[in-house]
Structure 1
Amino acid sequence: MLPQHKLDRINELSKKSKTSGLSQDEAKEQQELRQEYLKVFRSTMRDTIEHVKVIDPNGDDVTPKKVVESQKKNRLQ
């Protein structure tokens, strides 16, 4: 998870861009913070998906093959 002060800064820059606009330095900072946020988000989402097991109402494991293969690969590492 991204530290709260970085999330606050992302929101602050977003609000400022909508009201008065950003300087070049602020726009660059905003882009860097957004990229960092997306990197953390994708990593967290990937980790969550790789630890999922899908069970249908009949109790059968219906986890997608791609996820099962990824889980097996991670266990071997």
Structure 2
Amino acid sequence: MPESQEQTDLLKRINELAHKNKAEGLTAAEKKERQQLREQYLKNFREAFRSNIELMQLYDKSGKEVTPEKIKQIQRKRGLRDD
């Protein structure tokens, strides 16, 4: 799944702080920023992953749909299924 520009920017800043931490250490403010960035990155990742799973349809080798009922229900609630 391609990353959004926001995710790319978050990851870039997280990595900058990681390198600085290894080289010279972080201030208290930078540690707090790093934690907030990590939390935001994971939140965004989880939301995107959940959305991808909820949009997925699974089929067996014979072509019969075998999408789990829980996913089908979510898709119906979102108006993505008409069965």
Gaps of 5+ in 2: none
Relative contact order, CA 8 A, sep 6+: which one is greater?
Answer: 1
- Aligned partners of 1:38, 1:61: CA distance in 2, in Å? 31
- Aligned partners of 1:16, 1:60: CA distance in 2, in Å? 53
* Paired position in structure 2 for 1:75: 79
TM-score (norm 2): 0.79
- Aligned partners of 2:48, 2:66: CA distance in 1, in Å? 22
Structure 2 residue 68 is matched with structure 1 residue 64: yes
Structure 2 residue 28 is matched with structure 1 residue 24: yes
The answer on whether the counterparts of 2:7 and 2:41 sit within 8 Å (CA) in structure 1 is no
- Aligned partners of 1:18, 1:70: CA distance in 2, in Å? 44
Gaps of 5+ in 1: none
Aligned-residue identity in percent: 43
Q: Which deviates more from structure 2 when the two are superposed, residues 17-26 or residues 50-59?
A: 17-26
1:3 deviates by 4.7
* Paired position in structure 1 for 2:41: 37
- Aligned partners of 1:64, 1:52: CA distance in 2, in Å? 10
Instruction: Report the number of matched residues.
Output: 76
TM-score (norm 1): 0.84
The RMSD of aligned alpha carbons is 1.7
